[in-house]
Amino acid sequence: MRNPCLDLHSTIQEHFEFLLSERGYVAVSEDAGGGNGCAIVMEGNSIRVKFYTAQDEPLNVLVGDASAPLGWAEDVNGVKKWHYLTGIAGYLEGDLAIGERVAQMSREEWSRERRNEPKRLSSLLRGHIVEIERLFSDGEFDLIRDDYDHYRQAADVRTRAALEAKAGRR
């Protein structure tokens, strides 16, 4: 059986090489998840970046502080430590419509976008890496956690409304 981490390593090398060469990140954890996916955690500049693939999910990128757990877990003592890159970037940009745009895509558009996800996520991380490193180092995220949670709630409301409208419920 093929190790699912081989493809993820290739994706990281191809699309996120700047973390290694320009920012000094190193891989600190790899978990093949029982063969159904792979989680690789990289660390650098006082933060961690988690890349994972799972069955039917090509790529996800999460960011967290240096206490974010290695492997698949997302919280420590009930406190969420990993946050999706798209949500953090949306917060930094003040963009509430990220999920809304995805909800409005046709199945074909969504499939096409998922194939381009590594390139899109790489560009998003490259464009915000300095802000993200600042946000997640030295406990800075804890200072804005409530504001971020309010942002996520508002974005989720917009996404749900778009999904309901697409389903003809509104």
**What string of DSSP letters covers 64-98?**
EETTSPSTT--EETTEE--EEHHHHHHHHHT---H
In this predicted model, what pLDDT tens digit does every residue of 55-109 receive, in sequence order?
Answer: 777 799 999 999 999 988 888 998 899 999 999 999 999 888 776 666 666 667 7
Domain that holds residue 55: 4-166
Residue 146, pLDDT score: 94
Q: β-strands 57-65, 75-76: how paired?
A: unpaired
Domain count within the chain: 1
Residue 1, pLDDT score: 54
